[in-house]
Structure 1
């Protein structure tokens, strides 16, 4: 990313995010932005956030995407959010990580959410850190003299950040293929704020279903996988899908109890995550707004005859 820290801070002014440095970890091929995040109530958090992070497929290439990404995850760095993250993740390890007698000591150090190299003696500490990453956690790294330090970030497991990175070429192609229409509003009034939204929500993905979005993706595949939403509706959809995942209550678009397939309950015969889970999303308005709207219009027309 060829831009100075001064230029970045000019772009980030009024965001509550101060850019301190851009740096690269050559050993891991990861890139970091060192930041100070200042919340509206004055609470500050300082640390490193990856913007090239292969484990989650995060590859930010330009300042505008960096601004959008950091703005989206800023909410995770409040004092209250950090405390909640620590409480929930300690509970998660206590209830689900039985048998991780070695790795848990590394986790207990990292959950302090501070730079640390104070890990237990171990023949393969890198493997322990990798084990924790594979649980879905985001961990930053840096060199402090001869020591390698780590910092666990209070971002929800699985990097559910609310912002997905696409190349500028793919985004441009997706907008053109989908006619630059905000499918929620059925309008092209604000083309510049539109984002390609995965119909199949990320919260139900696993490693097998996570896929890249190549610039040469065929138009038919783009239409099958994506719809266009503005950032506000994209965030709203994520919250609806998260609630569905947690409770089994499918989302009701505009509060209407209409599903073009299935009911307002998640089909318990369908897996919650993975490729097969997408079948459980079909019929929900948030999954395919255009198909939902067309189905509802046909139902209205039929009732009027």
Structure 2
């Protein structure tokens, strides 16, 4: 993957990544210090912590995060973290302590499987407690396999961008996620192809960049009509495509396109909501409801024929 050098001591990937089975968004970064080089990841979107940064906000925090993640701060960060745990014999704490290196740790040969061979539930618990943990498949220099790796990002508690914090995004059970994918036919809407369950992400049609109040509840028995109205299915890659367009639109008021086609079945490229949080301003944009956008596009073409 292409790299971008922001400063002589800061290098970042050109693309974000989404850890498997999550909605979180990270970017791999490389921070060079006098004593060592840290090859880690920084968060852009964290569902459990209510963090939701635009591209510009992410970039503006790079220097600050560089200072916060200096190796000299690691010991104090761990001491502060440990002070929050009354029971250091718990399974969740043991997984946390196994990640105290602050580096990518392999789930096959690293310290995590030594304390818990199936740590997914414990990692979720840690995220709920405010810890920032990125996960990604990487080639392991020790066991030689391409395995899932986890990294504990030793940043302070994050102040949510929204007043309501993570209350804005209501919980969604795995049962409901599976049901949504089934209702929507396991079809990735951008390329109109059926994909496996693990390759699909449940996307809110109305982008969270424009939320200013909590979303409606996501009950397991949500009606089919509400599922179709509220969600669409994307892949990691197409979800990032939409996210970038929505970030840009929120900042500039210019809506995105679909593979270069600047066509909108309602309005034009100028976002036209009554306020910055008006969902009506998204109607007509391909990213808002791509299946409907494509149907309207074909309908318009037929009328001209």
TM-score when scaled to structure 1?
0.51
Number of the residue aligned with 1:171: 177
Number of the residue aligned with 1:290: 291
Number of the residue aligned with 1:67: none
- Which residue of the other structure, out of 25, 38, 45, is the alignment partner of 1:43? 38
- For residues 153 and 182 of structure 1, do their structure 2 counterparts lie closer, same or farther at Cα, with a shift above 3 Å needed? same
CA separation in 2, counterparts of 1:116 and 1:152?
13
Matches within 5 A, 1:18-167: 39-40=29-30, 42-43=37-38, 56=50, 81-83=61-63, 140=130, 152-153=156-157, 157-158=161-162, 166-167=172-173
Give the CA RMSD over aligned residues: 4.4
Q: Alpha-carbon deviations, 1:135-180, whole Å to 9, x = none?
A: xxx9959xxxxxxxx96346872479xx996321011100111111
- For residues 192 and 203 of structure 1, do their structure 2 counterparts lie closer, same or farther at Cα, with a shift above 3 Å needed? same
- For residues 114 and 271 of structure 1, do their structure 2 counterparts lie closer, same or farther at Cα, with a shift above 3 Å needed? farther
CA separation in 1, counterparts of 2:234 and 2:220?
20
**Is the CA contact (8 Å cut-off) linking 1:203 and 1:242 kept in structure 2?**
yes
Secondary structure of 1:255's counterpart equals: coil
Which range moves more in the overlay, 172-181 or 37-46?
37-46
Number of the residue aligned with 2:243: 238
CA separation in 1, counterparts of 2:66 and 2:216?
30
**Is the CA contact (8 Å cut-off) linking 2:130 and 2:157 kept in structure 1?**
yes
**TM-fit CA distance, 1:183:** 0.6
CA separation in 2, counterparts of 1:44 and 1:79?
17
**Is the CA contact (8 Å cut-off) linking 1:139 and 1:152 kept in structure 2?**
no
- For residues 221 and 300 of structure 1, do their structure 2 counterparts lie closer, same or farther at Cα, with a shift above 3 Å needed? same
Q: Alpha-carbon deviations, 1:99-148, whole Å to 9, x = none?
A: xxxxxxxxxxxxxx96898xxxxxxxxxxxxxxxxxxxx9959xxxxxxx
- For residues 298 and 165 of structure 1, do their structure 2 counterparts lie closer, same or farther at Cα, with a shift above 3 Å needed? same
**TM-fit CA distance, 1:231:** 1.2
Query: How many aligned positions are there?
Result: 188
Structure 2 unaligned segments of length 5 or more: list them: 1-26, 32-36, 68-75, 81-127, 132-153
Matches within 5 A, 1:149-298: 152-153=156-157, 157-158=161-162, 166-207=172-213, 209-267=214-272, 270-273=274-277, 277-298=278-299
Greater relative contact order (Cα 8 A, min sep 6): structure 1 or 2?
A: 2
- For residues 216 and 165 of structure 1, do their structure 2 counterparts lie closer, same or farther at Cα, with a shift above 3 Å needed? same
**TM-fit CA distance, 1:211:** 3.1
CA separation in 2, counterparts of 1:265 and 1:253?
15
**Is the CA contact (8 Å cut-off) linking 1:249 and 1:264 kept in structure 2?**
yes
CA separation in 2, counterparts of 1:139 and 1:194?
27
- For residues 179 and 303 of structure 1, do their structure 2 counterparts lie closer, same or farther at Cα, with a shift above 3 Å needed? same
Secondary structure of 2:279's counterpart equals: helix
Structure 1 unaligned segments of length 5 or more: list them: 1-36, 59-71, 88-112, 118-137, 142-149
Q: Alpha-carbon deviations, 1:8-44, whole Å to 9, x = none?
A: xxxxxxxxxxxxxxxxxxxxxxxxxxxxx98556316
Secondary structure of 2:202's counterpart equals: strand
**TM-fit CA distance, 1:215:** 1.2
